[in-house]
A and B are shown apart, each in its own frame.
Chain A
């Protein structure tokens, strides 16, 4: 069965600084990988996804993520964060052909002005 680990429960960065959120997955083959963002009081919004091909994927709001098979990782990055990026970020894994997504515990991002 697939699983996801987000090692950082809470991260604080300054506005304008770069950001990297870590995600490690466990799955026997190449999974489908996702990053979702949840703003306070909101549902989850898809930031980006990886199915196959180019291991660097671009998403909305200036985010990107890189799939590294050797490290079983799919880290999320942004070169310069904005105050509006403060939210909870979830990494998720899905097995091709399976019905559900398995989510990590989430990383809460706080932005210092």
Chain B
């Protein structure tokens, strides 16, 4: 158990729908990262939050949004889903002295039918 908790583990939905993925970072970690893993794109960085504020943005679609709450958990919202959004979505957290060392959760597998 890495200490990073992601829910749900699996999610099946239809095109056009909206889903929310949740992440709780390791205790004490202030930074949360979201990555998307797909067969054709590999591991792509989506977005990072630090103590509630957005710090870095990667290849995140406009249909996707995220936020980090005061209790430091984070949610990734995916809307107007398309077949190509089917992927494994990972959350990772980083401590204040972690120097880029990310601890990953087990991921949320999204299937869009």
Contacts and interface: CB of A to CB of B under 8 A. Distances in A.
B42 A99 contact: no
Given A42-B106, A43-B107, A90-B43, A100 B56 contact: yes
Interface residues of B, number: 24
Interface in A26-81: 32, 34, 36, 41-46, 49, 51
Given A99-B48, A100-B33, A45 B58 contact: no
Contact of A46 (B4, B101, B105): B101
Contacts, number: 53
5 contacts: A43-B105, A45-B104, A96-B100, A100-B58, A104-B42
Interface of B: 2, 4, 31, 33, 35, 42-43, 45, 48, 50, 55-56, 58, 90, 92, 99-107
